[in-house]
Chains A and B, each alone.
Chain A
Amino acid sequence: MKSAVIVFPAANCDRDAKVALEQMTGKTPHMVWHQDSALPDVDLVVLPGGFSYGDYLRCGAMASQSAVMKSVKAHADKGGMVLGICNGFQVLTESHLLPGALMRNAALKFVCKPVGLEVQETQSGFTRKYENGQRVTFPVAHGEGSYFADDETLDRLEGENRVAFRYAAGENPNGSARNIAGILSEKRNVLGLMPHPERVVDDVLGGTDGRNLFQSLIESLS
């Protein structure tokens, strides 16, 4: 599985993503600078967490206009896999690769802690190694992760089984609509989620619940 991690100015989880991909795939991902307009030939593009462009205007808004995003969109349009984590999820909604928006946390506080999630959908290249309804713990670290979309969009996401991860009962850290933590695109080749699977692939870091996400990608892309 060949992968690329997009490096935006003020991203701070690009190396986390790189280390996780190296550890899981045995191959070093391409680190692609946001001003590069071409993507290398890869199976997976990761938009990492962080505070791209200092969260100016809206989280992810400036990054969505960067040169490299045209290539990321083209990659997604061709059916290529794209994983957006935290700020990467915000970039995906701002780029209209995923519906909805991520808003200021309901309690107005930056939340940084492990959170219980339920895997809601295993029919995707990102989640096939999980069990339906499986409870996992991923860390979250964000101030603007409250998922919002109009009711019609939320109904459609649920109706099409595109809610991949939901916060477990009583664990919603940000006021997200219908406890949504991560969603899939219509073609199921783009996943955006606020929690950080790349931070739980090694026991040293306190958990390995994220490993199955990378194993799913390896399996579906090999």
Chain B
Amino acid sequence: MKARVFITLKNGVLDPQGKAIGHALNGLGFGSVGEVRQGKVIDLELAGSDAEAAKADLKAMCEKLLANTVIEKYEIELK
């Protein structure tokens, strides 16, 4: 089973990197770009075929290591 985890900063947490990316895009002439927020994507391969068990595991992985829930939120996608 393959899984993808999206990790992004929580709303209200300043994202200076996202801001810099936004400025750079504006500088390239993409004037339509407003606020930009950036994050991480982590692809994982998991043994087994029980989707519910995999989701529970992935949630635990995010809480324990993959995300810092003080500043980040996560979304889990199973493929």
Give A contacts to B, CB under 8 Å. Answer: 57-58, 61, 65, 93-94, 99-101, 103-108, 146, 148-149, 175
Contact = CB atoms under 8 A, between A and B. Distances in A.
B14 A101 contact: no
11 contacts: A57-B66, A58-B68, A99-B70, A101-B68, A101-B70, A101-B71, A105-B16, A106-B14, A106-B16, A148-B14, A175-B16
Interface in B13-64: 13-14, 16-17, 20
A27 B6 CA distance: 48
Nearest to B42: A57
A61 B61 CA distance: 13
A148 B14 CA distance: 9
Contact of B70 (A57, A106, A149): A149
B41 to A, nearest CB: 13
A100 B66 CA distance: 16
The 9 closest A-B pairs by CB, nearest first: A101-B70, A101-B71, A108-B16, A106-B16, A101-B68, A58-B68, A104-B16, A108-B20, A148-B71
A106 B65 CA distance: 24
Contact of B65 (A57, A103, A149): A57
A61 B65 contact: yes
B14 A175 contact: yes
B17 A108 contact: yes
A108 B19 CA distance: 10
Contacts of B16: 104-108, 175
B20 A148 contact: no
B19 to A, nearest CB: 9
Q: Which of B14, B17, B68 has the most CB of A within 10 A?
A: B68
B68 A61 contact: yes
A57 B16 CA distance: 18
A66 B70 CA distance: 20
Contacts of A103: 13-14, 71
Interface string B62-79: 000110101100000000
Nearest to B9: A103
A38 to B, nearest CB: 23
B64 to A, nearest CB: 8
A146 B71 CA distance: 12
Contacts of A61: 65, 68
B79 to A, nearest CB: 22
Contacts of B68: 58, 61, 94, 101
A149 B68 CA distance: 12
Contacts of A57: 65-66
Contact of A148 (B17, B65, B66, B70): B70
